[in-house]
Amino acid sequence: MKLDQLPGNVNLTYCTNIHAGESWSDIRASLDADVPAIKAAVTPDRPLGIGLRLSGEAAATARQPEALGVFREQLASLGAYVFTINAFPFGPFHGVRVKEQVYLPDWRSPERVAFTADAAAVLAGLLPDGIDGSISTVPGAFKANGKTAAAVAAITAGMMTAIADLVLTERRTGKRIALALEPEPSCLLETTDESVAFFETELLKTESLDLLAVKIGESRGGAETMLRRHLGICYDVCHGSVEYEDPVAALDRLLAAGVSVPKIQLSAAMRIPAMTNELIKAVMRYDDGVYLHQTIVRGPSGLTRYVDLPDAVAAFREGRADGEWRIHCHVPLFLSDLGEIGSTRADLVSTLAALRQKSRSSHLEVETYTWDVLPDNLRTGSKASDIAREISFCKEELVR
């Protein structure tokens, strides 16, 4: 929904990656099943914004003119609009082992570029007048796959092709869409410093800008302007908290470096102030076998990163992971207490307070996609009612 009380043209939504479904027909059916109840709870008298998650299969289908026309009619009947798309997971995202496969195909691959172009075509066909669009995506690659110079070069070239497509899309349709790289633990871009460095050393270097300039018929300076206009960072508060960042300071660091923030994902991670043997059983209840739960431990010697939760538990049992734990598991925003396990909700609350005073992004998206795998005690009602509670919590913090 639009939040006119805030500085900037702010839209608040939730991401439909919460709902299972990979085909376009399944995704559309999930909206019919859940959006009416969510809208009735959070914005009965005004249109509801939707952060649409598309798989590769769904994006290729949805971009077809007939499919887009039918979907526009569905959105009108729901009293909803789409202003942002999650084009991060290409394949299945529920009910199967996702883990590190969620990053594939990554930005080394033409498939990722084509998927992004499909998502952009869908969004250009759905954006209301006067609202810019955003597409969140993989932050390059899983870190192990993005280490070599050849991999980084391929990733950069893929992004230049995607940016060129967004430039040409705006020229053709008048719809401005920005691609938003989403830093995440264990990825090529996982911290704010790494993100700024990637822009400065790879994306904005002469060779990259010259490649883009040729694709869009601009000078090098014009290419840089277009890159900054159509590429930025999707800052996920959960991810930043897992990295022990101050999210507000991180957002301001990005903007000060000239890196835009097309979207902020409103989320919270698991936090354990001091890990103990007694907490192992409670922690492992979150080891769902579906998602990767990267864990970062802050101990006497600094930060130690583990790719998945069982790796951190094994290290703790060997005496190598004492200290504070932060775990990449999106937990409910409206719960201040998860029982034996804490959360980083305080980081989210401070971020929302800062956004009341100054706009850092016009797109705010609640993203707790883990409802289907969370322990039963964290699910307080139907999925639709829990989603509505999350949106309402954020809205109340933003406009108090």
The pLDDT tens digits for 186-219 are 999 999 999 999 999 999 999 999 999 999 999 9
Residue 18 is predicted with a pLDDT of 85
Residue 379: predicted pLDDT: 65
Query: If you average pLDDT over residues 162-188, what whole number do you get?
Result: 98
Q: What is the mean pLDDT of the chain?
A: 94
Tens of pLDDT, residue by residue over 276-287, are: 999 999 999 888
**Residue, of 8 and 293, whose pLDDT is higher:** 293
**Comparing 282 with 7, which gets the higher pLDDT?**
282
Give the C-alpha distances (Å, rounded to integers) separating 222 from 175, 197, 209, 217, 289.
Answer: 19, 21, 9, 9, 46
Q: How confident is the model at residue 258 (pLDDT cuts 50, 70, 90)?
A: very high
- Kindly tell me if the per-residue pLDDT of 94 is higher than 70: no
Question: Within 10 A of 33 (CB to CB), how many other CB atoms are there?
Answer: 13
3-state secondary structure the chain: CECCCCCCCCEEEEEHHHCCCCCHHHHHHHHHHHHHHHHHHHCCCCCEEEEEECCHHHHHHHCCHHHHHHHHHHHHHHCEEEEEEECCCCCCCCCCCCHHHHHCCCCCCHHHHHHHHHHHHHHHHHCCCCCCEEEEECCCCEHHHCCCHHHHHHHHHHHHHHHHHHHHHHHHHCCCEEEEECCCCCECCCCHHHHHHHHHHHHCCHHHHHHHHHHHCCCHHHHHHHHHHHEEEEEEHHHHHHCCCCHHHHHHHHHHCCCEEEEEEECCCEEECCCCHHHHHHHHCCCCCCCCCCEEEEECCEEEEECCHHHHHHHHHCCCCCCEEEECCCCCCCCCCECCEEECHHHHHHHHHHHHHCCCCCEEEECCCCCCCCCHHHCCCCHHHHHHHHHHHHHHHHHC
- Asked if residue 101 has pLDDT above 90, the reply is no
Amino acid 217: pLDDT: 98
pLDDT given for residue 88 in this prediction? 95
Q: Quick check: 115 pLDDT over 80?
A: yes
pLDDT of residue 380: 67
| pLDDT tops 90 at residue 103 | yes
- Mean pLDDT value across residues 228-245: 98
Per-residue pLDDT tens digits for 36-53: 999 999 999 999 999 999
52-66, 168-182, 356-370: which range is least confident on average?
Answer: 356-370
How high is the pLDDT of residue 169? 98
pLDDT of residue 148: 97
Instruction: Report the relative pairing of strands 260-266 and 295-299 from DSSP bridges.
Output: unpaired
pLDDT above 80: residue 93: no
User: Among residues of the chain, what percentage have pLDDT more than 70?
Assistant: 97
Residue 102 has pLDDT above 70, yes or no: yes
**pLDDT(9) > 90:** no
Q: What is the pLDDT of residues 297-343, one digit of tens each?
A: 999 999 999 999 999 999 999 999 999 999 999 999 988 778 889 99
Segment 90-119 shows an average pLDDT of 88
Of 2 and 162, more confident: 162
pLDDT at position 47: 94
Give yes or no for residue 183 having a pLDDT over 80.
yes
